Amino acid sequence: MSHQSFNSEAQFEDALIKMLQQYGWEREVLKNHTEKQLIQNWANILYENNRQSVRLGNYPLTETEMQQIIDNINNLKTPLALNEFINGGTTSIRRDNPDDVENYGKEVTLKIYDRKEIAAGDSRYQIVQQPKFPTASPLLNNRRGDLMLLINGMPVVHIELKKTGVDVSQAANQIEKYAKEGIFSHGLLSLVQIFVAMNPEETLYFANPGPEGTFNKQFYFHWADFYNEPINEWEEI
């Protein structure tokens, strides 16, 4: 199969976005979102999926209620615990929106994700293009990732891309660098489960080892087909 060449990373990024949209990812791309904007996006989705009166009714989540959820995430220290949070399907908050007179001060359980509804209407699949990552020092420029994939508002996959002719290991190094800077160690972005390093000719994927873990090249995998033959063409993946 002949490879399509990409002379710039931006071209490859756009082609990958178009391909993802053909497979059900939303047309509206979230561009240059900060973590704060991604938390608000998640709050909007949680609100839409929890409109029952025993949950949120007609009263959106407040910033402090979202902070309770982020605090819940920050208390989870291992990749396994974070994975269980996502797949557990629910999380609890103490309602502090005073407009919700019925539930004010009470513990409310929110549905965050239902594996049974993966293909059904309740799940949202969003693409974040060039998310802005905070830096350790305000003097440093904001870093930008390439693509992040959200399921129901939760960032589950982070992708770094390189153009044709640039070794895929450089994309993997970029991910490791971000991780060392603590970008995926706390808050919403610690929910990222899978990292993908891609150029048009080769793709690697590996798990987020979590803040205590280390990256191990032995666990960097190529996509493979049913017969375990490696697949590297980006379009097939």
pLDDT on residue 152: 94
5 pLDDT higher than 90: no
User: For residue 231, what pLDDT band results from cuts at 50, 70 and 90?
Assistant: low
Question: What are the structure tokens assigned to 145, written together?
Answer: 């990732």
Task: For residue 23, name the pLDDT band (cuts at 50, 70, 90).
Answer: confident
pLDDT of 120 > 60? The answer is no
CA dist 17 → 29, 45, 105, 202 (Å)? 9, 21, 43, 17
Q: Residues of CATH 3.90.1570.50 domain(s) within the chain?
A: 9-32+122-222
pLDDT in tens, 160-210: 999 999 999 999 999 999 999 889 999 999 999 999 999 998 999 999 998
Q: In terms of Cα–Cα distance, which of 85, 31, 124 is closest to 210?
A: 85
**Residues 156, 134, 186, 180: what is their CA dihedral angle, to the nearest 10 degrees?**
90
Question: Which tokens belong to 123?
Answer: 């799940």
Please tell me the predicted confidence (pLDDT) of residue 230.
Answer: 62
Tell which residue, 107, 152, 146, has the closest CA to residue 128.
146
Domain 9-32+122-222: CATH architecture, name and number where available: Alpha-Beta Complex (3.90)
**What's the longest Cα–Cα distance across the chain?**
63
| Residue 232 neighbours by CB distance under 10 Å | 19
Residue 212 near residue 232 (C-beta atoms within 8 A): no
Using pLDDT thresholds of 50, 70 and 90, give the confidence band for residue 232: low
Say what the pLDDT of residue 169 is.
Answer: 95
What is the rounded CA–CA span in Å between residue 79 and residue 183?
A: 15
Q: Is 20 helix (H, G, I), strand (E, B) or coil?
A: helix
Residue 221 to residue 118: CA distance in whole angstroms? 25
- Angle 222-228-231 (CA atoms, 0-180°, nearest 5)? 45
Residue 79, Cβ neighbours under 10 Å: how many?
18
Amino acid 227: pLDDT: 61
184 versus 213: the higher-pLDDT residue is 184
Name, in order, each residue with C-beta under 8 angstroms of 34's C-beta and a sequence gap of 6 or more. 131, 132, 134
